[in-house]
């Protein structure tokens, strides 16, 4: 389990096609410290398994399923990536419950400065709109954020579903969101609690 608190911004050293999908080698000195083969790492919010560790770099294999459901296929050498190791059992719980299972890919529609902070509007798949609520939590490229506004949209009429988040200076400097621009695709994971509530309500009908 993760919390959406990014601990390091790593850099992709190589991205190569493999029989199972894509193999990424990531430079990340802080993340590699204490990392063993078989350990989990969230890369831009996607839970992956370290397949090799050497020096200040580690490798992960991204299978076709993950490539289809996330924006990891957009990564190229020198791409920065948000990284987080799983929360320790005795660790402090910041952020919110994050599984590292991407629910959909969004597209940044706009970014505007608000003093030293920024407001970001992200278009999301319509099927995620019911899980996103104002003042609720959402994970964007591995970062736990609070939703500040929601537009549910309408798939029938073509009205886009979207939400806004406010990015404080620390988030801008400590995560990849500080360099994201309109048009960039981002990984989205909605709050797991919302999905469980929906499932329980369905079971009672």
Q: What is the pLDDT of residues 168-181, one digit of tens each?
A: 999 999 999 999 99
Rama region for 110: left / alpha / beta (φ>0; ψ in -120 to 50; rest): beta
Q: Do domains 8-84 and 104-204 have the same CATH topology?
A: yes
End-to-end CA distance of the chain: 31
CA 38 to chain centroid: 21
pLDDT of 114 reads 94
Q: What is the pLDDT of residues 53-74, one digit of tens each?
A: 999 999 999 999 999 999 999 9
> Strand 8-18 vs strand 21-27: parallel, antiparallel, or unpaired?
antiparallel
Alpha helices in 5-148 (DSSP H): 29-32, 64-69
- CATH, range 8-84: 2.40.30.20
* Cα–Cα distance measured from residue 48 to residue 65, given in angstroms and rounded to the nearest whole number: 12
Sorted by where each begins, the domain ranges of the chain are 8-84, 104-204
Instruction: Say which residues have a Cβ less than 8 Å from residue 15's Cβ, sequence separation at least 6.
Output: 22, 23, 24, 25, 75, 76, 77, 79
- Per-residue pLDDT band at 99 (split at 50, 70, 90): confident
Classify domain 104-204 at the CATH class level.
mainly beta
- Per-residue pLDDT band at 103 (split at 50, 70, 90): very high
Is 32 in a helix, a strand, or coil? helix
Which neighbouring-strand residues pair with 164? 121, 149
């Amino acid at each position: 389990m993760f919390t959406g608190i990014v601990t390091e911004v790593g850099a992709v050293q190589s991205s190569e096609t493999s029989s199972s999908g894509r193999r990424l080698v990531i430079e990340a000195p802080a993340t590699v410290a204490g990392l063993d083969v078989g350990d989990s790492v969230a890369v831009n919010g996607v839970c992956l398994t370290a397949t090799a560790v050497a020096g200040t770099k580690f490798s992960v294999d991204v299978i076709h399923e993950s490539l289809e459901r996330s924006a990891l296929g957009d990564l190229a050498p020198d791409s920065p990536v948000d990284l987080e190791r799983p929360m320790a059992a005795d660790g402090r719980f910041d952020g919110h419950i994050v599984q590292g299972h991407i629910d959909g890919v969004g597209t940044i529609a706009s970014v505007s400065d608000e003093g030293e902070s920024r407001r970001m509007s992200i278009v999301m798949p319509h099927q995620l709109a019911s899980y996103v609520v104002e003042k609720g939590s959402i994970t964007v490229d591995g970062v736990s954020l609070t939703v500040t506004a929601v537009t549910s949209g309408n798939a029938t009429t073509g009205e886009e579903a979207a939400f806004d988040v406010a990015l404080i200076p620390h988030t801008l400097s400590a995560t990849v969101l500080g360099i994201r621009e309109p048009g960039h695709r981002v990984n989205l994971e909605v709050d797991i609690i919302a999905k469980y509530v929906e499932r329980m309500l369905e079971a009672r009908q």
